[in-house]
Structure 1
Amino acid sequence: MTIKEQLLQEIESSPDNILAETLDFLRFLKTKETETQPKPEASTSPTHANTNSTGRSLLEHLKTIGKWEGDDLEECLRLVYATRGKAKFDYDNPFE
């Protein structure tokens, strides 16, 4: 029996909550696989050599996700501001 057949067999006998978690994990693994494959410009650009996110790498990523469409930007920003809270850390910060 192939791995795919085994997975399908397990899927058939699993509840929806486990399937939802499994789907999220599978998508994560596929994304991780795509991100770890070297891009053609990776050899010439030092910002792509590091797999950790940096401010620069996040800004570079913004260039690839398109532009805002619609007229609800202000509404979305109000929602973000209304629902965000202060970060709370329950451990000692070694940098303080």
Structure 2
Amino acid sequence: MKWGKNMTAKEQLLREIEEASENLIEEVLDFLLFAKARRNQLDTNSKTASQLTVDSSEQQLQQKSKPIWEMFEDFTNELPEEIIAQLPTDGAAQIDHYLYGKPKQEP
């Protein structure tokens, strides 16, 4: 059903509610209460939602902009010693062997 173009969102919502089932109205009410609580939480926070997004983006950028050797060091610091002991020591020299299964090259 189409509503008039001059109708506000609130008026449209009220008309739709009048025709909706009780189950649907309960879902819409739950969502509305959730959205209001979230909005109130953002309003009481000292930062606006856009500032939170910018701060989060900057933090992600800083994490992503670590040099590769630092990221590798972070990764290897988490590996158990027994796993590190199993890693090949000739990885650079024998890259084709480890990546493509070619026979190892003589040094």
TM class by shorter chain equals 0.3 to 0.5
Whose relative contact order is higher, 1 or 2, with alpha carbons under 8 Å and at least 6 apart? 1
What is the TM-score normalised by the length of structure 2? 0.36
Higher-Rg member (1/2): 2
Greater helix content: 2
What is the TM-score normalised by the length of structure 1? 0.40
